[in-house]
Amino acid sequence: MMPRLKVLLIEDTDDDAELLKLALRDTPFDIARVGQLSLALEGLAQDRFDVVLLDLSLPDSQGFATFEAVRRAAAREAIIVLTGLDDQDLGLKTVQSGAQDYLVKGKAGPEVLVRAIRYAVERTRAEQETARYAQALKAKNAELERDLNLAREIQQAFLPQRYPVFADAGSGTPSSLRFCQRYFPAGVVGGDFFDVLRVSKDEAGVIICDVMGHGVRAALVTAMLRALIDERAPFSRHPAQMLEQLNRGLRTIWKDAEAPMFVTAAYLVVNSRTGAMQFANAGHPNPLYLRSRPGADPLLLGAGENGPALGLADAPDYSVGVVELRKGDRVLLYTDGVFEVEGPGPASDLFGQLRLRESAAKSALLSPDAFLDALMVDVCAFSGTSKFDDDACLLSVDFLADERPLPVVTAK
C-alpha cells in the first residue's frame, strides 16, 4: 500500500482549490493549502512535503519568478506547475529548470493529476538518491586520488634519488660510470622500475623491469621488486643468479594468485675500472650497446638469448653475455612503452626498435641528458603527442674510465 503523501497546494483561487481537493478526495494525499508565495515559502521552511502543486499567478508573484522562488525553497520536494497559463514555452522553461511536470487547469483530470503526482515524487526521490550517490562517489574519488598521489610519492621514492659514484676518494676525478634516466608513467603510478646498485667497490648493478600492465596493480609489484632486490643483494654481482632469485621470489608471492602476472627484466653488472660488463635478460627488450668508435652501429646485447620473463617458470635458465666497454661507450636500457607508441592516423605503425636504434645512433655523441632528450623528441614527433599509453622508461650507462684494449663483444 502506497504511503500517504504530503502535498502543499499553492493556489490563491478558492474555487480552483476546492475543485482540486474534491478531485483528490479519495487519494492517499494530505493537502495543505496557502494562497500567497510568502506563505508558501514560510511553510516550506517550517515543514517538509513530498510534492508542491504550484500556480504561477499569485497575489504577490507572477510567472516564472514564482517558480524560481519556490524551487530555491523546495530543495527536497517535487514541484508540479498547475496553472491556468497554457504557455508551452513557459512550461518547457519550468521543466528544464527543475519542475517535474507542467499541467494546465481544466485539461488535467483527476487520474492524470494523481499519476503526475506519484511519478513526480518517485522521480524526485530517484534524482535525490542519484545526487547522494554522486556526492558519495565524488568524495570516494577524492579519497582515491589522495591515495594515488601518496602512492606516486612512495613509488618515486623507490627510484634512485642519486647514483653511486665510482671514483678514487679525494682524487677529484669524476665518476667513471655515469647514469641518466627518463621515466614517464602512463598514469599516476606506473609498472616500470629501475635501480642502480653498488654491488662491490668497483662494480655497479643496473636493473630495469617492466611489470605486466600498468596502474595500481603494476605499481604494487614494483614495490615487491624493490624489496626482493634488496633481499637478494648477495647475488647482485651475478646477473643470471640475480634474475633467478627474483623469479623465485615472485613465484613464491604469486603462487596463490588467480590472475597470472609476469615481469620482464634486464640486469647488468659493470666494472667501473676495467669496463667489463656482464648481462642477463628475462624476456625484456634487449639493451642497446652504443660504441664510441666512429661509424659503429648500435648493437643489441644478447639478441636471441633471452630467458623467460620473471614469474612464468619455476626454474628458468638465464644465459650471461659479456662485453668489454671502452671509454665513451654507452649502454641504453629501456622498456617497450618507448618504442610501442603508434604514429598518427588509422593506418599507423609502431615507432619500433629499428627506429629507436636509428635515433640512438644519430644522437650517440651527445651528453647523457641530451641523448635521452633527443630520443624522446623523436618518439614524440613520431606519435604526435607527449603522452604515453604505456609506461615508458629510459636508462643510460656511460663508461668514462681510461681507454682499454679493443673489446671482445659477444652481443648480436
Domains of the chain and CATH, by start: 5-131 (3.40.50.2300), 159-399 (3.60.40.10)
Question: Which residues is 280 bridged to in the sheet?
Answer: 267
**Each residue of 174-195: pLDDT tens digit?**
889 999 999 988 887 788 899 9
pLDDT at 160 (0 to 100): 80
Percentage of the residues of the chain whose pLDDT score is greater than 90: 52
Q: How confident is the model at residue 411 (pLDDT cuts 50, 70, 90)?
A: very low
Q: For 57-79, what is the mean pLDDT?
A: 92
**Each residue of 272-326: pLDDT tens digit?**
999 999 999 999 999 999 998 877 889 999 877 899 999 999 989 999 999 999 9
Q: Which of 35-44, 145-154, 349-358 has the lowest mean pLDDT?
A: 145-154
Judge whether residue 204 has pLDDT over 80: yes
* CA proximity to 339, closest of 298, 264, 392, 407: 392
Residues 320 and 304: their CA atoms lie apart, in Å, by: 12
pLDDT at 402 (0 to 100): 67
* CA proximity to 393, closest of 268, 285, 261, 309: 285
Q: What is the average pLDDT value for the chain, to the nearest integer? A: 87
Tell me which of 395 and 91 has the higher pLDDT. Answer: 395
Residues 382 and 342: their CA atoms lie apart, in Å, by: 8
Number of alpha carbons in the 13 Å side-chain half-sphere of residue 293: 13
Residues 109 and 307: their CA atoms lie apart, in Å, by: 80
Q: Which of 188-197, 208-217, 343-352 has the lowest mean pLDDT?
A: 343-352
Q: Which three cell numbers stand for residue 244?
A: 633467478
Q: For 2-27, what is the mean pLDDT?
A: 86
Q: Which residue has the cell 494523481?
A: 114
Q: How confident is the model at residue 267 (pLDDT cuts 50, 70, 90)?
A: very high
Q: For 332-340, what is the mean pLDDT?
A: 94
Residues 37 and 10: their CA atoms lie apart, in Å, by: 7
